[in-house]
Chains A and B, each alone.
Chain A
Amino acid sequence: MHIRPGSIFSKGLLLISVPVALQLCTVAAILIAQRHAERAEQWSEHSMEVVRLTDRAIATALEGHGAMRGLAVFRDTGIETASRERLRTLPAQLRRLHELVADNPPQQRHLDDTDRALVQYLAWVGRQETSARNGQWDAIDGDLRNLTGKRLIDEVLEHLQEFLAVEQELDDERLAVARSSRAVLHRVIAVFGLMTLPLAVIVAWVYATAIGRRLGTLAGNARAMADGRTLAEPIGGRDEIADLDVVLHQTARRLERSLEAERRDAGELAARAAELARVNAELQYKTQENEIFVYSASHDLRSPLVNLQGFTREIQHGCADLRKELAKQSLPPEARTRIEGLIERDIAESLHFIQTAVTRLSAIIDALLRLSRAGRVEYTLGPIDIEPVVRRVVDALGATIQERQVRVDVGPLPTVCADATALEQIFGNLVGNAVNYLDPARLGHIEIGTATGAAAAPDSGLATVYVRDNGLGIPADHQQKLFVALQRLHGNEVPGEGIGLALVKRVVDRLGGRIWVHSTPGAGSTFSVALPAARVET
């Protein structure tokens, strides 16, 4: 595993390693001290063993020598043979001691001396026993008297005593060492135990400064960023906290920039929205102004029409009166015929043309008034089922439909959010047009239904209804002008003012919908009206 220098992990390792190292040291020190003490104890036990064996050798020698004296005194080879025999084990005992003190040359030398003295003494013992078996008691006595044996054994004992003294001294030394080792061990445990407490404090302090305080600054920076305040100076350092802090600073800068951009955009957006609202208001004002103008103009046009119509009628009344007067008068027949011809033909025909023109003009003005009113009238919007509306419209046209043997199919129709009167206007015009512009060459078929798929408006919030006929159809170049006021495709063969579709478009626009047409001349037309679908009540 790769450990980055300066990282929190490495700092943590460092922090943990200090007490761990300390504890390892403690354990090592304890182990060493213990081992030391153990060795001292082993040495001490070793020395005691040597002392014990030496004491036994001395005892064996003394006991054996006593038996030798008994032999001389009682002149009997049968007594204390065991003690004498044990003298023979002394070399073996010394060999054992040799082995035990193999590491100590001065003691070896003492044992060597003892060995030599023992060889001489055992040789003496051998001689004495030989003499005794041979009955040469005098020689034994003599030898006893001149203390040869005693001298020899004393020498052995002397060497052994020296050896023992040295060994005891060693034993004391080793005991002291063992004791001191124990003491050292206790001290080590105490010292390291006491050191742990301040170390813990130091480690905590180091952690607080190295990690805790930096984390605090980092948290402060994060809070500052969340609150949109300015961040503190960069923390510095090489660990993950510093990295995080750098990232925090970068993020804060980016946030600042995007906020700046957002403020700029918002300002621009507000400016655009204000502009749009202004243009919209202007447009609305202009539309209103237009409608008021159309209304006033239409209205003002009506007044002269009332006169035209009224006075035409007055002239007709006048003509009637004139005819009555003429009947009373006696006139030459040709003059009467001429005057009657003037009244009946010329004047009557002129009056008829004036009346027709006035009626037509009046219809146009009424239509214009309706159109302007379509823009001004207030709508009451609500969910309305189109189907009963269309059925009412079809019923109203019933006479014409029956007369022309038109087949009318009304399919299932949607519920839209609209105004009832407005809907009646829309479908009254569309169905009326369909009936009026049928092709006389074939039986009429009109179909009103709900458009789906590609035939419907792409906006999912709109429901599309179509009115399809197999009528005359509309030439492509006229389809553009279809919804403009006072544009009439057909001449006088079908009555109309050229207002209907303009009115329908105005109403559909005001309801927030769309209207469009697909038509093939000679085949028929399909008018589609998309209106805001009524929201399903939950």
Chain B
Amino acid sequence: MVVESVCIVTVEDDDGHAALIERNLRRAGLSNDMVRLRDGQEALDYFLGPRADTRDTCVLLLDIKMPRVDGVEVLRRLRADARTASLPIIMLTTTDDPREIERCYDLGCNVYITKPVAYEPFVEAIRRLGLFLQVIKVPNGTSPVAQ
């Protein structure tokens, strides 16, 4: 049911958010590998740095407001690089400003999800994200598994 080879990379400066995302994804039934990165710079190092190796089987959950390099800049740089141009990127952020959403879609994010404060919609968003990840086509040729 779950594509085990897909690694879920969460770029999130807030430890609590990161923990909540992971727990709720697990609760929604995902057992994929999960990597936590603390800011945009770490994300750039992870995907574009000299020791970048696992990017082929990754899905990125990207926060926007982060120290050093923010999420929008990470999105822009990853889309500009041929190696990560088709990497699935999901913006997961507290900002629901329509202009910010539009900017992210313009820059090429696949999905934009607003972090809801109300718990139920948040879990629902994470659940849907989990389901989404299960059917997503990843670049290494692994065939997507429908539910």
Spell out A's residues near B (CB within 8 Å): 295, 299-300, 302-307, 309-314, 317, 358-359, 362, 369, 373
Distance of A303 Cα from B14 Cα, bound (Å): 8
Mark out the residues of chain B between 78 and 115 whose CB falls within 8 Å of any chain A CB in the assembled complex: 94-97, 115
Are B14 and A307 closer than 8 Å at their CB atoms? yes
Contact flag A313-B119 (CB < 8 Å), given A303-B14, A307-B14: yes
Mark out the residues of chain B between 94 and 145 whose CB falls within 8 Å of any chain A CB in the assembled complex: 94-97, 115-119, 122-123
Q: Which residues of B contact A295 (CB under 8 A)?
A: 97
Q: Which residues of B contact A312 (CB under 8 A)?
A: 119
Are B117 and A362 closer than 8 Å at their CB atoms? yes
* Closest beta carbon of chain B to A330's beta carbon, Å: 29
Q: Which residues of A contact B97 (CB under 8 A)?
A: 295, 373
Contact flag A306-B65 (CB < 8 Å), given A299-B94, A299-B95, A311-B16: no
Distance of A307 Cα from B27 Cα, bound (Å): 17
Are B17 and A307 closer than 8 Å at their CB atoms? yes
Distance of A362 Cα from B20 Cα, bound (Å): 18
Q: Which 10 A-B pairs have the closest CB atoms?
A: A307-B16, A310-B20, A313-B119, A362-B117, A302-B94, A305-B117, A309-B117, A309-B119, A306-B115, A306-B117
* Closest beta carbon of chain A to B129's beta carbon, Å: 15
Are A309 and B118 closer than 8 Å at their CB atoms? yes
For the side of the interface on B, what is the size category? 10 to 19
With contacts defined as CB atoms under 8 Å apart, how many contacts are there between chain A and chain B in the complex?
52
Distance of A414 Cα from B56 Cα, bound (Å): 61
* Closest beta carbon of chain A to B67's beta carbon, Å: 13
Q: Identify which of B94, B95, B122 gathers the most chain A CB atoms within 10 Å of its CB.
A: B94
Chain A interface, >50% SS class:
helix
Q: Which residues of B contact A307 (CB under 8 A)?
A: 14, 16-17, 20
* Closest beta carbon of chain B to A498's beta carbon, Å: 19
Are A358 and B20 closer than 8 Å at their CB atoms? no
Q: Which residues of B contact A302 (CB under 8 A)?
A: 94, 115, 117
Q: Which residues of A contact B123 (CB under 8 A)?
A: 313
Are B17 and A303 closer than 8 Å at their CB atoms? yes
Mark out the residues of chain B between 4 and 35 whose CB falls within 8 Å of any chain A CB in the assembled complex: 14, 16-17, 20, 23-24, 27
* Closest beta carbon of chain B to A495's beta carbon, Å: 15
Q: Which of B23, B95, B96, B118 contacts A362 (CB 8 A)?
A: B118
Distance of A303 Cα from B17 Cα, bound (Å): 8
Are A306 and B95 closer than 8 Å at their CB atoms? no
Distance of A303 Cα from B15 Cα, bound (Å): 11
* Closest beta carbon of chain B to A376's beta carbon, Å: 9
Distance of A304 Cα from B116 Cα, bound (Å): 12
Distance of A312 Cα from B120 Cα, bound (Å): 12
By beta carbon, the residue of chain A nearest B14 is A303
Are A306 and B94 closer than 8 Å at their CB atoms? yes
Q: Which of B16, B23, B96 contacts A306 (CB 8 A)?
A: B16
Q: Which residues of A contact B119 (CB under 8 A)?
A: 309-310, 312-313
Distance of A300 Cα from B95 Cα, bound (Å): 10
Q: Which residues of B contact A303 (CB under 8 A)?
A: 14, 17, 65, 94
* Closest beta carbon of chain A to B28's beta carbon, Å: 13
Q: Which residues of B contact A362 (CB under 8 A)?
A: 117-118
Are B122 and A310 closer than 8 Å at their CB atoms? yes
* Closest beta carbon of chain A to B125's beta carbon, Å: 12
Distance of A314 Cα from B122 Cα, bound (Å): 13
Q: Which residues of A contact B117 (CB under 8 A)?
A: 302, 305-306, 309, 358-359, 362
Are B94 and A314 closer than 8 Å at their CB atoms? no
Q: Known pairs A310-B24, A313-B123. 8 more at Cβ < 8 A? A: A302-B115, A303-B14, A306-B14, A309-B117, A309-B122, A310-B122, A311-B20, A369-B96
